[in-house]
Amino acid sequence: MWIEKKIRLRNNEKGICPFCGSRVTIKAKGRMPAQTHDERWFVYVDPTKDGFVFRYFHAHQLMKSDGYLDVVIHKERIERDISENSRAIYTFPKGKPKCESYEWGVYKQRGDCRWCPDQGKIACMECILYPRNLPQAWEHTPMKYSALEVLSTNLPTVSMRYEDAIEKYIEFPKMEWICKMGLNKIAKGIINSRYSGYQTGKVNIKGNTIYEILGLTKVNTRILQAVDGNHDILRLLQVAQQIGLQFKPEQLKEYYETFGCNTDLLKQANRKTTLHKIVKYITKESENYPIGEQGGCVGGTHT
């Protein structure tokens, strides 16, 4: 994307695209490589009589530098290509998801391209969900109230396994609350986690309220919302709550950026002291710990 606005930029500086909000590396026009490639997978949901179909599209963009344009035949600075490569057709017999997948390719070496039974040759599951026709596209299915369109709108440039989200939502319908509360990183962690017990901060899918689900008080739930915390930050809040420590949002962010999900430091602090004294204590004790060590979260026992 060319930026003509009067914004002070430096070559190779990290920043945020003012158009789409994604993280980018800024390149000076005269210093960019001959060709710059960018590609994404995205999925569009089309309704069917008995459910819906996930249509996977591969979008590719090629940008050429000034010097490269001088030596090539095709003088277009930006070339774009979009192709549909895979489809997943969903129905819901007795309320449970059933999927038939297909990919575009040559079937049994017969020479002609067609829709073939999925053989797993196309890696498209990590994708961006197009949200603008949702939830209307699946309004006659159990996914109508999933709020995945809210999650996709909040994270428009973040790829995740949205097909996995279908089974996760059927198992845990209250995931809708997490999406609508703007707990985007928690929702992403739930969707992308394919192994039970992997996450640090635990989400209780059998909870009746959002506070039981997150294992947090109302105050700490609002703090988690304020920082859009991930499962590690959820774990820090859960442990801090157990020992009687109340973080503020900026303090929580500072702790996590410095020490990661190190709950051992929190547990060793005196629960009766002030936060200021705990920060001083942590600074002193951190000399015995590598910065960012995941003590008490990864491989530890969660209490």
Q: What is the pLDDT of residues 52-80, one digit of tens each?
A: 999 999 999 988 887 778 778 777 888 99
Provide mean pLDDT across the span 234-251: 92
77 lies in a domain?
A: no
Q: The dihedral of CA 37, 43, 44, 48: what is its sign?
A: positive
Burial (CB < 10 A; 0-12, 13-18, 19+), residue 75, is exposed
Give the DSSP H/E element, type plus range, for residue 171. Answer: helix 162-171
Alpha-carbon Rg of the chain, whole angstroms?
A: 24
What's the pLDDT score for residue 295? 47
What's the pLDDT score for residue 302? 41
- CA neighbours closer than 13 Å in the CB half-sphere of residue 63: 12
Domain of 23, in residue numbers: 1-32
228 lies in a domain?
A: yes
Q: What is the model's pTM?
A: 0.81
215 lies in a domain?
A: yes
Q: How many domains does the chain have?
A: 2
Nearest to 57 by CA among 159, 198, 140, 137: 159
Provide mean pLDDT across the span 26-32: 74
37 lies in a domain?
A: no
What's the pLDDT score for residue 303? 39
230 lies in a domain?
A: yes
281 lies in a domain?
A: yes
> 23 with 16: CB under 8 angstroms?
yes
Beta strands 113-117; 23-25: pairing state = unpaired
107 lies in a domain?
A: no
What's the pLDDT score for residue 281? 65
> What is the number of other CB atoms lying within 10 angstroms of the CB of residue 62?
15
pLDDT tens digit sequence for 90-144: 999 999 999 999 999 988 777 789 999 998 889 999 999 999 999 999 999 999 9
- Stronger pLDDT, 30 or 79, i.e. the higher one: 79
161 lies in a domain?
A: no
Token duo for residue 87: 């489809």
Q: Give the Å distances, CA to CA, from 132 to 129, 215, 259.
A: 9, 33, 39
Q: Give the Å distances, CA to CA, from 25 to 1, 16, 19, 32, 155.
A: 11, 8, 14, 11, 19
